Copies of this chain bind each other. A is one copy, B any other.
Amino acid sequence: MSRPPTAPPTLEDVARVAGVSRATVSRVVNGTRNVDHKIQEVVRAAIDKTGYAPNRAARSLVTKRAGTIALVVSGAGDPGEEDAFAARVFADPFFGRVASGVLGFLRTRNVHPVLMVADTERAREDVMGFLRQGSADGALLVSTHAEDPLPARLVEAELPAVLFARPARPVPISYVDLDHQAGAKLAADRLVGAGRTQVATVTGPLDVPASQDRLTGFRDAMARHGFPYVPIAEGGFTSASGEAATERLLAEHPGIDGLFAANDLMAQGALLVLQKHGRRVPEDVAVVGFDDSNPALVCRPRLTTVRQPVEDMAAEMARLLLTHVDQPGLPPKSVIFDPALVVRESG
């Protein structure tokens, strides 16, 4: 009764109640073997009685493990528009899927993700500081633009990190990715398989490797089908940009009968524009999206799309990071996932 009742119980308190030493209590708390069964029970009772919960700061201080990782979304962030970046990013169902996958993997492992956005130099320094402070044991990075300096800084600082998607500039760092070219091929095959002969594509931002790969893969596959030229319009992975791109495409190539959009959001925008111009989907023009995210199910007609197993990829990313945390110095590794075609009504 000497300490105020508000102070949380410590190992010492439990030890006193159980009549053993701190070390013993620590052993049973941490599940170390080598503790007599009877004593274990006594200790456990004492823990219950005191309501003890180990103090994570104290533990971290000695184990040098935070038990948290940083989940960072990094991107351009127009100066003065910082919050807008976060808003845009979190409005994209893609990030929800990443978060969901990461959480699903981490939840049983007693590691927790700290959400961070790195859209300005200041924010990037925050992220680096956070990691160097040991506040997180490593970083999961989802980059939305090509010139992101974070991957390079992370490897330079020798901080454990895993990216979602191959970095635009080559950097020796682990990442998970999709075989985008194979995915685009799936779309091309579907479109020409359905008899489409005037096929165009709405690409993602072309400084992003994934966009490049989807375009390349699509073109290659079309070429192999005997179509040497594919009209393209560049979008920005948003619904609005998909609309704009489709308008341009339609203006220059009114005869198109097939469309591949590099993600579902843009495909959704394309659908809107197509309908506005009186084109029936899929009768007049078939459209295939990419991702298989929520919008694909909500729009009408429902989207035929190339599925990217984002949750699985995110989980793998977390798994990889944890191995890097446990085994510093492990060489970078990449894990590539296979896409799958999901056929619905649009194409």
Chain A residues close to B by CB (< 8 Å): 6, 8, 51, 53-58, 60-61, 66-68, 71, 82-83, 86-87, 89-93, 95-97, 99-100, 103-104, 107, 110, 112-117, 123, 126, 129-130, 132-135, 158, 239, 268-269, 272, 275-276, 293-295, 297-298, 300, 311
What are 15 A-B pairs with beta-carbon distances under 8 A? A6-B158, A8-B134, A57-B58, A57-B61, A82-B104, A86-B104, A87-B96, A90-B100, A91-B96, A103-B115, A103-B117, A107-B126, A112-B115, A115-B115, A276-B300
Number of this chain's copies in the complex: 2
Contact B97 A96 (CB under 8 A): no
Q: Which of B55, B56, B133 contacts A55 (CB 8 A)?
A: B133
Contact B87 A97 (CB under 8 A): yes
A10 to chain B, nearest CB (A): 11
Which residue of chain B has the shortest Cβ distance to A123 in the bound complex? B107
A264 to chain B, nearest CB (A): 11
Contact A112 B87 (CB under 8 A): no
Contact A114 B112 (CB under 8 A): yes
Contact B298 A268 (CB under 8 A): yes
**Contact A298 B300, CB 8 Å, known A60-B57, A90-B97, A135-B56:** no
Which residues of chain B are within 8 angstroms of A115 by Cβ–Cβ distance?
71, 99, 103, 112-115
**Contact A100 B83, CB 8 Å, known A61-B61, A298-B295:** yes
